[in-house]
């Protein structure tokens, strides 16, 4: 059978929403009709983003699972009201299946699928299976994995490695350095040269204080005046961070965020960043060497697992957040700058891990399983 109508539950953080939106965009490009089910505090903004791509969405009530007995009534009220609304969405859009991208926002749609005996599929965006997927696995047809995971036995359904679904703009946006630098100069009047080393520094979508404040270019570093730096410091942080680098010997471009990450990855010779699932997958697509600093409070330490996945291919080094200091980064830059060509070759090794067609592979997995289920004798 052809998969043409799919509900995608991808509320929660951007780590759940962005891959879900990428899958929905791929289905729409195939001529299908996706609908996003969104819960959590970012749902309104996420709905606006989905609408920009012509993807319909419905807001579903959802609350995190709680151990507080006083809050359990509110949790179950939210759970079943969200499930009831989801059942109506399934009927309205004629959905053939539900895909949950993890997070607490998946519970109401998954409960609705269970009540309706509706095909449920899961996707996990990290190198360690998340709590929601571990709980929902017993009801699912399959779990699509972004990375090989050591704890796959904790999910009670078949697991298939598909890769992390990335935005088409990332997958199809690889440029040579000269073209990328030229576009950066056009957009931000950066005055960069493609012949000089360029360092890309960023935290998560909200920025990271450690990375924003500790990655300095030492004035006594040989070649410091040749370095060019792009920093993404997160919304609301620009005016606090910019003065910290006013006397930097390097040429600095400091931005809150950037919607055209393909330009920055293409231009970069070295990346210093966190290790979210999408970030490490993007680094693999672009083959860029990175110093990865896992977010120390990520659930179950999953960013550490993500970082080790890229480092195992030779494309990264992992640094604990607690070990980050100006002196540490100064030492790393002294190691990198005279050996840029060597580090560039190391970065290219991670390309063998890249799964640029992950969104299509997730849809193919769902379609194939639905086809087998449809043709199997009852």
* The predicted structure's pLDDT at residue 207: 67
Q: Residue written as tokens 């370095």?
A: 227
Phi and psi of 8, rounded to 5°?
Answer: -125, 115
Contacts for 239 with CB less than 8 Å, ≥ 6 apart: none
Q: Residue written as tokens 């759940």?
A: 16
Kindly report the three-state secondary structure assignment for every residue of the chain: CCCCEEEEECCCCHHHHHHHHHHHHHHHHCCCEEEEEECCCCHHHHHHHHHHCCCCEEECCCCCCCCCCCCHHHHHHHHHHHHHHHHHHHHHHCCCEEEECCCHHHHHHHHHHHHCCCCEEEEECCCCCCHHHHHHHHHCCEEEECCCCCCHHHCCCCEEECCCCCCHHHHCCCCCHHHHHHHHHHHHCCCCCCCCCEEEEECCCCCCHHHHHHCCCCCCCCCHHHCEEEEECCCCCHHHHHHHHCCCCCEEEEECCCCCHHHHHHHCCEEEECCCHHHHHHHHHHCCCEEECCCCCCHHHHHHHHHHHHHHCCCEEECCHHHCCHHHHHHHHHHHHHHHHHHHHHHHHHHHHCCCCHHHHHHHHHHHHHHHHHHCCC
* The predicted structure's pLDDT at residue 64: 75
* The predicted structure's pLDDT at residue 375: 55
| Stated pTM of the model | 0.93
* The predicted structure's pLDDT at residue 376: 54
Per-residue pLDDT of the chain (378 residues; tens, 9 = 90+): 799 999 999 988 889 999 999 999 999 999 999 999 999 889 999 999 999 999 999 999 887 777 777 777 887 888 889 899 999 999 999 999 999 998 889 999 999 999 989 999 999 999 989 989 999 999 999 999 999 987 777 788 999 999 999 999 999 999 999 999 999 999 999 999 999 999 999 987 766 889 999 999 999 999 999 999 999 999 999 999 999 999 999 999 999 999 999 999 999 999 999 999 999 999 999 999 999 999 998 888 899 999 999 999 999 999 999 999 999 999 999 999 999 999 999 999 999 999 999 999 999 999 999 998 765 544
């Amino acid at each position: 059978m052809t998969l043409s109508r799919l509900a995608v539950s991808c509320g929660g953080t951007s780590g759940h929403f962005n891959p879900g939106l990428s899958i929905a965009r791929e289905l729409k490009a195939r001529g299908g009709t996706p609908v996003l089910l969104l819960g959590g505090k970012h749902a309104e903004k996420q709905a606006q983003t989905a609408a920009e791509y012509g993807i319909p969405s419905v807001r579903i009530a959802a609350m995190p699972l709680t151990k507080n007995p006083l809050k359990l009534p509110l949790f179950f009220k939210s759970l079943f009201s969200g499930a009831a609304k989801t059942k109506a969405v399934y009927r309205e859009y004629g959905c053939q299946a539900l895909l949950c991208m993890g997070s607490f926002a998946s519970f109401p749609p998954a409960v609705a699928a269970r009540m309706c005996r509706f095909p449920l599929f899961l996707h996990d965006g990290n190198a360690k299976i998340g709590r929601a997927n571990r709980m929902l696995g017993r009801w699912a047809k399959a779990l699509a994995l972004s990375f090989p995971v050591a704890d796959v036995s904790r999910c009670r359904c078949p697991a298939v490695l598909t890769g992390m679904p990335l935005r088409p703009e990332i997958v199809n946006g690889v440029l040579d350095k000269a073209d990328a630098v030229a576009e950066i100069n056009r957009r931000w009047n950066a005055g960069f040269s493609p012949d000089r080393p360029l360092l890309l520094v960023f935290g998560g979508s909200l920025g990271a204080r450690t990375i924003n404040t500790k990655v300095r270019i030492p004035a006594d570093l040989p070649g410091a005046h040749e370095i060019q730096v792009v920093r993404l410091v997160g919304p609301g942080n620009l005016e606090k961070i910019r003065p910290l680098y006013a006397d930097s010997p390097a040429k600095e471009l400091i931005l809150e965020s950037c919607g055209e990450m393909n330009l920055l990855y293409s231009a970069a010779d070295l990346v210093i960043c966190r290790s979210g699932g999408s970030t490490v997958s993007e680094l693999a697509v672009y083959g860029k060497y990175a110093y990865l600093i896992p977010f120390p409070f990520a659930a179950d330490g999953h960013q550490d697992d993500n970082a080790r996945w890229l480092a195992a291919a030779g494309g990264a080094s992992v640094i604990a957040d607690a070990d980050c200091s100006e002196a540490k980064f100064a030492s790393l830059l002294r190691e990198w700058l005279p050996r840029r060509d060597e580090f560039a070759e190391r970065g290219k090794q991670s390309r063998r891990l890249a799964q640029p067609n992950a969104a299509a592979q997730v849809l193919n997995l769902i379609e194939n399983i639905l086809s087998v289920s449809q043709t199997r004798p009852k």
